[in-house]
Every structure is written in C-alpha cells, then in structure tokens.
C-alpha cells in the first residue's frame, strides 16, 4: 500500500532537460539565463512588471519590508491565521507585529483590520496579508483600507500562485507580492521564492540587498549590509519547467477538491474552506472543519492507512513566541485551528487515491 503524501512535488518532465542546459553552460550559481527566464515567466503570468527570484519566500518578505523602510520599532500588521514564515521577517527587522484575525472566508477580516489599526500605538508601516491555502482574501477591501490609511500592502501569496480575484492574479493587488516554491507548494523548485512589484526602483533595491548590497565597483564595496538571498540558476531551471504546467496543476487541484466535496459534504458536520465570490482559488490544499469529531481522530485513522494529513495552522497570536503581541481577534481562527484538517491534495493524486482518503474519513464519521 503506497503512502499518500499531503502535497508532494510533481515534476513536469522537462526539469532534467533544463537542468542539463544549466550544467552545459556551467552557470550553476548564483545567477544565469534561467533566473531571468523564471522571473520573466512570473511577470508574464501574473501581470507584474518586475520580479526578483530569491532562495525562499521568507527572504522575499524580508526584502519587501527592508525596501519599504520598515525599521526597528515600527508596527506591521499581519494575518494571524498563517504559517510562521509569513511574519518571521517582521522580527528580522526588529519591528512589532500586530495580528488580525479571520472572517468567514478564513482569511484576514477587513473589519478587524480597521480595529487593529486603531489598536496600534502608532500608525502601522505595512500589512502582510496571507491568501490562505490558495484562497483569495477580500483583497480589494483590504487594499482600499491600506490606501486610505497610507499603509504599505504586501501580499503573502506563498500558497496562492494561480489564484485570482475578478480576473486579477494573487500577489498583484498590493505594493509588493511574494510567492513560494517550497517542496510542498503547487509549483516547486525544491526551495525558493519570488518578489514582485510594479515599482521598478523597489525591485532593483531588493535585488541589490539580495546580492550582499555590493556597490557598482570593480571590487567589493559596501555602503550598507545585504543578504545572500538570490536563487541559483539550477533551481530557476526547475521553476521554468514548472511554470509551463501551472494551469494544469491548478486544474487538477481543483478537481481533487471537487471529488472530496462530492464524497464528504453530505455529512452535516463537514465544512470546506469557502471560495469568496468573484475569486478562483488554486486549492493548494483541500481543508475542512469537523463540528463534532476530533480532527486528530481522523488524522490517526489516516496515518494508520499511510495517508498524511495535518491540522490547520495554529494562529500566530496563540503562539508562545507572540504571547504579548497586540491582536484584533474574534475567535474565528482559534475555532478553525481546533476543528480543522488539511487533506492530501497533491496534483499527482489519482481519483483512486482521493477515494481511498475519503473511505477512511467516512469510516470515522459514520
């Protein structure tokens, strides 16, 4: 009986050929033609004018904060219902996070965003909003609030490449957007990220910081400090091949979600993460809540059948690291965490695999 993983890498078949080109060119690192091609492919797909490839999405978020002038003592608003990588960069800049809870979409609540702005001891410098599990937040409302308040908007689209709202791609509504190509994402380069923006000066500054802040001189001259954050040409070659199948990957993940819902939504206690009106999520992970059954009971049953699953994210404002942080909360994300579950959603799953997962869950729910 094969193991079914939560979201394993799914190669297109062209990765090895492109990597072979990199080896023949001997431009293995730090840069090369495939880095340029990968950045261009992201711009073409998303409609962003400029992009810089990085070694992680966390690095891209860090660059965004640095470029936008977030400094020690500044306040940065952030989604609470997310992964730690969404907010780690706030601490790197010695800034202070202010967390915002979710609404019925599971994503950041615009109403609570207004409350968080009022709670902040001084005007926040930026907001990092996460498009959770590949589903769009109420991004137009959120962007409008940030514009009115003079707050920079950074979209954490690490999980949502290929998702859109009213035909506009995730990561392109704010001042800057960030994508992830970690091993479990809808597209993977094994590890990597991308920072996008329509502001050329910001992206060039990010590129400068990402390459150790080396000045334009024939020797290593540094007027400020930078980071070793660029993506290698080898990983970018994988990314180019992956981008060629993005549409198919999103399509398959949505098919898997539809198959799960067809089998499980008949159970009154089962609720799947919604898709807000006007949006099209990439359904990176199929996620649900159980009203009566302990999700860990389901996880244990799945594990016994060699099927990987995972709880929903533990909200940042409940993490010991942020026990003293400011938060505008309404209990939504805490409830989701206590009742929620992520199901295997890899685009290489067969219908038979999905049915196998459903069969185990149904035995627990009956």
Strand pairing of 50-54 and 193-197? antiparallel
Q: Is the dihedral of CA 34, 38, 39, 45 positive or negative?
A: positive
pLDDT for position 18: 97
The count of other CB atoms within 10 Å of the CB of residue 141 is 14
pLDDT for position 1: 87
Sole residue written with tokens 């949505």: 254
CA-based nearest residue to 2, from 300, 305, 310: 305
Output the six-digit token pair for 154: 């950074």
Task: Break the chain into its structural domains and give their ranges.
Answer: 15-243, 246-365
| Highest CATH level, class, for 15-243 | alpha beta
pLDDT for position 63: 98
285 HSE (CA, 13 A, CB side): 24
Tens digit of pLDDT per residue, the chain (366 long)?
Answer: 899 999 999 999 999 999 999 999 998 877 899 999 999 999 999 999 999 999 999 999 999 999 999 999 999 999 999 999 999 999 999 999 999 999 999 999 999 999 999 999 999 999 999 999 999 999 999 999 999 999 999 999 999 999 999 999 999 999 999 999 999 999 999 999 999 999 999 999 999 999 999 999 999 999 999 999 999 999 999 999 999 999 999 999 999 999 999 999 999 999 999 999 999 999 999 999 999 999 999 999 999 999 999 999 999 999 999 999 999 999 999 999 999 999 999 999 999 999 999 999 999 999
- Which residues lie below 8 Å from residue 331, measured CB to CB, with a gap of 6+? 101
- Which residues lie below 8 Å from residue 274, measured CB to CB, with a gap of 6+? 104, 105, 106, 135
The count of other CB atoms within 10 Å of the CB of residue 362 is 13
Q: H-type helices in the chain, by residue range?
A: 15-25, 33-46, 57-67, 88-92, 110-119, 139-149, 200-210, 233-243, 246-264, 295-304, 332-339, 351-365
Q: How many residues does the chain have?
A: 366
pLDDT for position 29: 77
DSSP annotation of 37: H
CA-based nearest residue to 365, from 304, 316, 301: 301
Does domain 246-365 bear CATH number 3.90.1150.10? yes
pLDDT for position 362: 98
Q: Is the dihedral of CA 165, 168, 171, 172 positive or negative?
A: negative
Q: What are phi and psi of 278, to 5 degrees?
A: 90, -5
Residue 287 · residue 340 · CB < 8 Å: yes
Residue 186 · residue 249 · CB < 8 Å: yes
Q: What are phi and psi of 110, to 5 degrees?
A: -60, -35
Residue 166 · residue 179 · CB < 8 Å: no
d(CA 103, CA 166): 20
pTM of the model: 0.96
The SS3 of residue 92 is helix
pLDDT for position 214: 95
Sole residue written with tokens 């070793």: 228
Q: Is the dihedral of CA 302, 307, 308, 310 positive or negative?
A: negative
The count of other CB atoms within 10 Å of the CB of residue 309 is 22
């Amino acid at each position: 009986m094969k193991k079914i993983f939560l979201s394993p890498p799914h190669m297109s078949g062209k990765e090895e050929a492109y990597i072979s080109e990199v080896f023949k060119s001997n431009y293995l690192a730090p840069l090369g033609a495939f880095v340029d091609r990968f950045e261009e492919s992201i711009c073409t797909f998303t409609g962003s004018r400029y992009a810089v490839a990085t070694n992680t999405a966390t690095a891209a978020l860090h660059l965004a904060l640095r470029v936008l002038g977030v400094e020690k003592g500044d306040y940065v608003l952030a989604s609470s219902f997310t992964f730690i990588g969404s907010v780690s960069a706030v601490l790197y800049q010695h800034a202070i996070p202010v967390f915002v809870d979710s609404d019925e979409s599971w994503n950041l609540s615009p109403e609570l965003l207004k409350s968080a702005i009022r709670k902040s001891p001084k005007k926040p410098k930026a907001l990092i909003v996460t498009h959770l599990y590949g589903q769009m937040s109420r991004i137009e409302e959120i962007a409008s609030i940030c514009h009115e308040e003079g707050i920079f908007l950074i979209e954490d689209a690490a999980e949502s490449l290929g998702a859109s709202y009213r035909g506009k791609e995730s990561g392109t509504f704010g001042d800057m957007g960030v994508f992830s190509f970690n091993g479990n994402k809808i597209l993977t380069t094994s590890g990597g990220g991308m920072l996008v923006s329509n502001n050329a000066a910001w992206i060039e500054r990010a590129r400068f910081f990402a390459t150790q802040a080396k000045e334009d001189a024939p020797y290593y001259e540094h007027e400020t400090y930078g980071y070793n954050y660029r993506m290698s040409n080898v990983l970018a070659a994988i990314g180019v091949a992956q981008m060629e199948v993005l549409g198919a990957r999103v399509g398959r993940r949505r098919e898997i979600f539809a198959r799960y819902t067809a089998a499980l939504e008949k159970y009154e206690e089962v609720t799947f993460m919604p898709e807000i009106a006007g949006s099209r999520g990439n359904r990176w992970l199929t996620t649900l809540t159980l009203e009566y059954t302990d999700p860990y009971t389901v996880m244990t049953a799945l594990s016994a059948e060699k099927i990987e699953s995972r709880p929903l994210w533990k909200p940042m404002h409940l993490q010991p690291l942020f026990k003293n942080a400011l938060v505008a909360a309404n209990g939504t994300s805490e409830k989701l965490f206590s009742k929620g579950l992520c199901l295997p959603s890899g685009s290489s799953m067969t219908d038979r695999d999905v049915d196998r997962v459903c069969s185990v869950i149904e035995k627990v729910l009956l």
